[in-house]
Amino acid sequence: RKEVEQDPGPFNVPEGATVAFNCTYSNSASQSFFWYRQDCRKEPKLLMSVYSSGNEDGRFTAQLNRASQYISLLIRDSKLSDSATYLCVVNMTRNSASKIIFGSGTRLSIRP
Amino acid sequence: DARVTQTPRDKVTEMGQEVTMRCQPILGHNTVFWYRQTMMQGLELLAYFRNRAPLDDSGMPKDRFSAEMPDATLATLKIQPSEPRDSAVYFCASGNYSGANYGYTFGSGTRLTVV
């Protein structure tokens, strides 16, 4: 089982729709969580951190469920420019060292 | 905006040749990562450093890969000898570890093709 798992998609939704992705992680000692966005042939860029109480940044909402070991990303009123791959990132502790693990990404395509 | 700088941007080399990739982390960042990305495997962590000390390089094939930080402004990833299966995009990322929550910034990557 992978340490961080995501639905690879692709998710193909119309402009203006709401879309949500989940990501599950295996290590309950994981400390911090992030969503990154990666455009084709570009580097990953930090989209938002994920806090225990949930957090919102404009049209984007991130949630963390420690009991079930998953994080989620909700995008409201999706735009064409939201088309990208969304990477779930978990900072987990193993053998007293922290390690940043990426999920394999969920591809999102917004159609006009 | 502060940036992580990676060189070269693209590298084509013949199998068996040595390849060195360089990364200049953002000034003041104390943690540097090397990742490799392929279509099949996604983003794989190869190695990372904190305060220039290697913390984990378990993701790296030790027989041919080596990663170093000769000083705080330079991280290197070397492959010797290179093989076609090493073809990938290699990303460097840096961040400042100051507790549980921190993000980090990626460089634009080095696209390596081994023929």
DSSP output for A12-78? EEETT--EEEEEEES-TT--EEEEEEE-TTS-EEEEEEE-TT-EEETTEEEEEETTTTEEEEEE-S-
Q: What does the pLDDT read at residue B8?
A: 98
Interface test with A, best of B26, B33, B104 (most A CBs within 10 A): B104
Q: What's the whole-number mean pLDDT along residues A77-89?
A: 96
- The per-type count for chain B, helices as H runs and strands as E runs, is 0, 11
From chain A, the residues in CB contact with B105 under 8 A are 46
> pLDDT tens-digit profile of B60-99?
988 999 999 999 999 999 999 999 999 999 999 998 876 5
DSSP-derived pairing of the beta strands B110-114 and B10-13: parallel
Residue A44 confidence class, pLDDT cut points 50, 70, 90: very high
- In terms of average pLDDT, the best of B5-14, B54-63, B102-111 is B5-14
Between B100 and B78, residue with greater pLDDT: B78
Predicted confidence at residue A47, as pLDDT, reads 94
pLDDT value of position B99? 54
A97: closest chain B residue by CA: B55
Nearest CA-CA partner of A23 in A11, A6, A2, A1: A6
Taking Cα atoms as reference points, which of B108, B83, B105, B107 lies closest to residue B96? B105
Q: Provide mean pLDDT across the span B99-112.
A: 82
Q: What integer best gives the mean pLDDT of chain B?
A: 91
Residue B101 pLDDT exceeds 90:
no
Separation between Cα atoms, residue A11 and residue A22, nearest integer Å: 12
Residue B102 has pLDDT above 70, yes or no: no
Q: By percentage, how much of chain A surpasses pLDDT 70?
A: 94
* Partner residue opposite B43 with nearest CB, options A32, A34, A102: A102
Q: Which residues from chain B sit within 8 angstroms of residue A32, using beta carbons? A: 100-102
A44 and B48 within 8 Å at the Cβ level: the answer is no
- Residue to mutate among B34, B43, B113, with most A CBs inside 10 A, is B43
